[in-house]
Structure 1
Amino acid sequence: MENLRYVLAPYDPDFPIALGERFIENGNRDRSYLGGGSGYVLSRGALRVYGEVAYENETLCQKEPIGPEDVTLGVCMTSSGILLGDTRDQFGKHRFHQNIPRDYIEGKWQSWYPNVTLYGSGKGIESLSETSISFHNLKSDSDLYVLEYFIYILKLFNVEGRFTGPSVAPLPPDVDSAPEEARRRFIRRKRKIGTS
């Protein structure tokens, strides 16, 4: 939750934006959606547009699914003017993950994955963002307990703080996916705390 709050901080909750790992449908970069497995976040503004404009409008949102729920919702959101934002960190590393950490570290994921992720995906531990938010396909409760242990319980000897990044999340590489207000808010927050 902490990293999710960190990433959401620069965004106006009333701006219609959805965040998650961006995928493309059938190789078409113009038809992108957010992968449902790793989850996605809809702003209050996105929920308002979906509920008040899109849901009952069959020209924007088909009643019958056109595929899995994430594809159907993604097409509906983009047709309705909801922006699908870039959630990668300033180094281009993903924060929402369609696979478990080991799959990225070993570079062994489902064969379809590299073909649908909009921004590509690296291999190795260095491909994972220090501010990751979610992972899909954790198989059991014990997987979650292992993550909880490493995140919240394990203490490192002679290490003051484990996070040394900026106090305001930098904008993602695809700054066009961030609304103008988020860009202005980001600049104001950086000036307020005195960072460059």
Structure 2
Amino acid sequence: MSIFSSEKAIFLLGIMIGSFTSTAFYTNCFWLFGENERMLNKLKTDKQKVATIARKDVEVNLKKLEHAATNIKVQQLSNHQRLFCWVMTHQNNHQTKASTVRATWGRFCDTILFISDGPQDINFPIVHVDAPNGRSGLWHKVRAAFRLIHEKHANKFDWVLKADDDTFVNVNSLKQLLASYNPEHALFFGEPLIGHGSESEYMGGGSGYILSKETLKRFIRLLDDPRSDGQVGCDRNSATSGEDPLIARCLYMLNVTGVDGRDWTGMNRFSQHSGPTRGGGWIQEDFWYKRFQKYTSTMKNYNLGCCSSVYISYHYVQPPMMHQFQYLTFKVNPIDTSSVVRRA
């Protein structure tokens, strides 16, 4: 073999080795590039998984926070929310109006008593008080009822509601209102009215009014004050039907704060009338209710626009209508009316 043949063989071998090396190099590069791409894709996938897990964790934590907030709200509603309801009635209404109150909204009170001039009944929570017959005995009944509750039931309540046997009360709505207040403060809730020969504000008795625990303590101390009514500045002994302005005058003498019972739109939560069932009476200029309104803005609407959507009470509600109010308040689930097309 000549030297040229050997050199040629070496040259060819070099080409082969170079080709193999280049092929291996590029193959390795392509593999590396592919591996990098796979790693990048894996990182993206892992990142998405991490984001998904994190999002789920956030959603779980949000749900936990919402659940905790709900528990706090429930706790707030349960704390300081023991509502003692006492209803003014008389013997002729025991089996009609009083029994209807007990069967409807009275079931939602933590404790309920019916204060009456009739005999006590072991099967019905009626307490007899001695008072003058008729409307002239109302102020006497109110004083006797609050004294009885303070002496016999002081550990059963944070708030005391006084209502009539033809008052319908949305107790849940009332408790939501009271949840923002402390019963250890001297507070007085109801529908603010003026009249009865005075421009002083008072809370209408027919729609019900509420005294905090502290307010009731102060009121009882005032009733027991040995000084004369003139010295005290509060009429504690007269026989009259105007019990609501009288108790308001006594409470304001004690630096009790009257809480505005209107909602955020200026409409009354407490109503001295039967609400939307009043009908066309709203447009009558001599409608008695207009004369006693402290806030005339509450009279700008009538019929379905008469009252708050978060109402608390109506007055002059007869037993059949009381059952209807109970059904509409607690059984009917209204639709979202924001999307309803209304005719002009």
* 1:117 paired residue number: 293
Q: Which amino acid aligns with 1:55?
A: L
Work out whether 1:56 is the aligned partner of 2:224.
yes
- Which deviates the most, 101-110 or 58-67? 101-110
> 2:203 maps to what in 1?
34
Counterpart Cα distance in 1 of 2:241 and 2:249: 10
Deviation at 1:14, TM superposition (A): 0.8
Aligned counterpart for 1:91 among listed residues 258, 261, 265: 265
Superposed counterparts of 1:1-196, under 5 Å: 1-26=171-196, 28-29=198-199, 31-52=200-221, 54-57=222-225, 58=229, 59-62=232-235, 63-65=237-239, 68-102=242-276, 106=280, 107=282, 111-120=287-296, 121-122=298-299, 123-124=301-302, 125-139=304-318, 141-156=319-334, 159=335
SS in 2 for 1:154: coil
Aligned-partner residue type, residue 293 of structure 2: T
Higher relative CO (Cα under 8 Å, sequence separation at least 6) belongs to: 1
**RMSD of aligned residue pairs (Cα, Å):** 2.3
Q: What is the rounded CA distance, in whole Å, between the counterparts of 1:105 and 1:93 in structure 2?
A: 17
CA distance in 2, matches of 1:104, 1:92: 20
Give unmatched runs, 5+ long, in structure 2: 1-170, 338-344
Distance 1:130 1:77 in 2: 29
Work out the percentage of aligned pairs sharing the same amino acid: 24
Output one character per residue of 1:52-79: Cα deviation in whole Å (capped at 9) or x when no partner.
Answer: 2x22342143222565111111111112
Distance 2:219 2:203 in 1: 15
Give the drift of 1:99: 0.3
Q: Supply the distance in 1 between the matched residues of 2:331 and 2:172 (Cα, whole angstroms).
A: 15
Q: Following TM superposition, by how much is the alpha carbon of 1:28 offset from its aligned partner in structure 2, in angstroms? A: 4.0
Structure of higher CA gyration radius: 2
The AA in structure 1 aligned to 2:191 is E
SS at match of 2:205: coil
Secondary structure of the corresponding residue to residue 92 of structure 1: coil
TM-score normalised over the length of structure 1 = 0.71
Unaligned runs of 5+ in 1: 163-196
Q: Greater helix percent: which structure?
A: 2
Q: CA deviation at 1:115?
A: 1.5
CA distance in 2: counterparts of 1:68 and 1:26, whole angstroms: 8
Q: Per the alignment, in what secondary structure is the counterpart of residue 311 of structure 2?
A: coil
* Count of residues paired in the alignment: 156
Tell me the secondary structure at the aligned position of residue 218 of structure 2: helix
Assess if the C-alpha contact under 8 Å between 1:60 and 1:80 holds in 2: no
